[in-house]
Amino acid sequence: EAGVAQSPRYKIIEKRQSVAFWCNPISGHATLYWYQQILGQGPKLLIQFQNNGVVDDSQLPKDRFSAERLKGVDSTLKIQPAKLEDSAVYLCASSLRSYEQYFGPGTRLTVT
């Protein structure tokens, strides 16, 4: 069974630039999550999708972050414009049940 795929693995941008991350979940997993993990901290949920719909985006900074999940499969997370404090690892996860999430390798973003 293929795992959760993410790309790119690394990205370096300057502040005020835009960036997009892509995630392909495990086949058949209806729920998809995007997390932000700052160095030394645990993953913080940004947005949770159930199929095409948003279940929870309460911690998504909507003035600069956006996410979509087309056709209930792949998802993209965008930041525009980026700030220095957005430097983090962005993790995508998918699951059938919330207590059994499968994570991708993450995208390490550095904003200079």
Q: Which residues bind other proteins (CB under 8 A)?
A: 4, 31, 33, 40-45, 48, 50, 55-56, 91, 93, 97-106, 108
Q: How many angstroms separate the Cα of 40 from the Cα of each of 10, 55, 86, 103?
A: 18, 27, 14, 18
Nearer to other proteins, 10 or 80 (CB): 10
Q: Contact at 8 Å (CB) between 32 and 94?
A: yes
Residue 49's closest CA among 5, 81, 16, 95?
95
* Least distance from other proteins to the Cβ atom of residue 90, Å: 11
* Least distance from other proteins to the Cβ atom of residue 81, Å: 27
* Least distance from other proteins to the Cβ atom of residue 5, Å: 11
